Structure 1
Amino acid sequence: MWETLAQAVINGLLIGGIYALVSIGVTLIFGVVKIVNFAQGEFVMIGMYISFFLATQFGIDPLVSLVVSMPVLFVAGMLIQHFLIRRVLGPNDMPQIFLTFALSLLLLNLSLMLFTANYRTVHTSYSDAALHIGGLYIPVAKLIAFAVAMALSGLLWVFLHTTDLGKAMRAASQNRDVAMLMGINPNRVFAVAFGTALALAGAAGSLLMPFYSAYPFVGQVFVLMAFVAVVMGTLGNVVGALIASLMMGVAESLGIQFVGADSGLIVVFAMLLLTLAFRPSGLGARRGR
């Protein structure tokens, strides 16, 4: 019993690391730019396709392809922010919602047209490898993905708290007008925030490729979990999104293991409802005096 429980927790933590990369990107965009990016999942899908074609055409390992997918999507994010998002920023949220939703539909249908609905996989030397510790089974590909995801999350935290640009992003997220009075260029900060969020989505896609299939709708799975994590962890709270993602991964795995194969999402949404019932501001919200 305890061995089964431990195995379920390990499996949940490993996939929770991927959820964390996607949800941190969503909450970073919301925290700094104050919009909800409904297309975040599609950029995970693009990251997967980049890794797939680099692997099949040039023999580049998906982990190595991080050095391509992250910069490509970072630049794409900055361009999207400059040419699209910047033009709809304002007190009215509806144009922002429609824009990111339209971008999601555009990327989804373009991928269907270019790549069809076929599942694409990449098999690496470590795709089927596993560590056996006691009676526990730890897939190497998922362990590597978790370690890299946590490292990237840690680097983002260091960037936000120790660099001038990171502090500028935090200042803009707290009070945009005061940040402008202090000499911070909001357009530059927003572009970097959007680019960073999309780079994290690209990283998630590359990390998924050794053990997960790429197909046009794959991003929908991860963006749904990301939105739940963002709400549970408090909107705009990066650490809260990280913790909520790991909790969700564990809850989903426990539900699949002990309730049923189709019950993972049920358990996750039950967690969301309980969180909203008892902590409406999210787990990462600070209590008032």
Structure 2
Amino acid sequence: MPELPEVEVTRLSLSDRLTGARVEGLRLGKALRWPLGCSAEQVLGARVDAVERMGKYLWLPLSGEAAPAGGLLWHLGMSGSLRLVANGTPPGAHDHVDLLTSAGVLRLTDPRRFGAVVWGASRHEGLPGKLLSRLGREPFDPALSGPVLRQAWRGRRAAIKPVLMAGDVVVGAGNIYACEALFRAGIDPRLAAGRLSGPRCQRLLQAVQDVLMQAIAAGGSSLKDFSADGHLGNFQNLTAVYGREGQPCRICATPVRRVVQAQRATYFCPRCQKR
């Protein structure tokens, strides 16, 4: 599933080329998770402003006299990718949304159709506002700190790994990145979230930030479907524990273990990561 690093890499690949482009058409293929929420004609003539990211969503603001102010919120779902292709490039079987612009066709490809594109008068209104209001803080938000995490998780008995992945406190730590951050912070993923001390929360926050920054620099992770503008990410080749069950820990040589938490595979070093 594309997570925060993959979505940020996608944003970086699109922003400069799309900013200032003019919308010339909108083609919808098979139905996605939610309806668009506007007619295709409503966005014609709009100008694309700078692409923004909130968690795993991309907000494409539209403005101009030819169309009402607003924007399109894009989500890549479980297997989606978003890229800019040349005008006139015919859509394939899994290409479900084409935004035709003067800079090219912004195309959402999604084999499993869990992704979506929805219209909103702003990112704070309508369905975009509802979806984005559920998100926790961005991991690089200056207001986020170890004490903030500790207070938010106080009393929680659930294990820290699924709690971290829930995204209601801090967004961006998908399965790969949660495993890697907990390893770097030396925290056992089975530890109850409410038992983390202030210093351990601070170490975990720093580890989340470091892992996400490294993943963005590596172009994200490409395990099955994801690529940004046709280029595969490389972070999956740099992991310390994720996907390395039975292999020696890169620090202590203890075999990496795999357990299942909240129906997701968790990888950790039983020696380096403490309860």
Q: TM-score, normalised by structure 2?
A: 0.30
Greater C-alpha Rg: 2
When normalised by structure 1's length, the TM-score is 0.29
Higher relative contact order (CA 8 A, sep 6+): 1
Q: When you count helix as a share of all residues, which structure comes out higher?
A: 1
